[in-house]
Structure 1
């Protein structure tokens, strides 16, 4: 599983960046903690190049924590930005760190969802 996790993290981030391109230029180091049965795997995500390594990410500005099985299920089912947002709101995933970064990411995702809702609401003509 550990050799698979960086690929899954990268796939999830790239999918999110494709859906919400406004996040692409964000320069940020994120620590990702995946909790399993009795262990925690820690990864470092460097953005904007989306490089994932197995590392403690002591210089991370934001740390994301969630259960490994939940993360795997989200990636497997092709989670969209709205799915990830709900996971954070429901407490299934947790983000800590510099609040300005967390708020910025949340605002960008919310604006994206708002625009997507408006596009669907417009009549076809």
Structure 2
């Protein structure tokens, strides 16, 4: 099951970046921790090229952690930004790290969601 995790992470990141294109040029290393039954799989996500490797990611500026089954479900159901936003709000996913990075990402996502709401209300 762990062999498909890097591909699933890449899929989720590409889908997220489609929804929030302003984050595409962001240069950053993100640690992704997927917690399963009795173990934690750790991955290193390099951006902007979206390269995922199985690694501890000691140089990560941001670390995202969630249960593996929840992550699989989100990817399977093609989760979009609003779904991820709700997951973080409900505590199903957690992000820790450098406060400036977390704040920047949150602001960019909020502005994109605002743009999406304005587009829908105009039509």
Unpaired runs of 5+ residues, structure 1, are none
Q: How does 1:28-43 map to 2 (within 5 A)?
A: 28-43=28-43
Shift of residue 25, structure 1, vs aligned partner: 0.4
Is residue 2:23 matched to residue 1:23? yes
Q: Select the structure of larger CA radius of gyration.
A: 1
Q: How does 1:1-125 map to 2 (within 5 A)?
A: 1-122=1-122, 124=123
- TM-score under structure 2 normalisation? 0.98
- TM-score under structure 1 normalisation? 0.97
Measured in 1, the distance between the counterparts of 2:55 and 2:119 equals 41
Over aligned residue pairs, what C-alpha RMSD do you find? 0.6
Between the two proteins, the alignment pairs up a number of residues equal to 123
- CA-to-partner distance for each residue in 1:48-96, whole Å, 9 max, x for gaps? 0000000000000000000000000000000001110111111000000
User: Counting helix residues as a fraction of each chain, which structure ranks higher?
Assistant: 2
Shift of residue 15, structure 1, vs aligned partner: 0.6
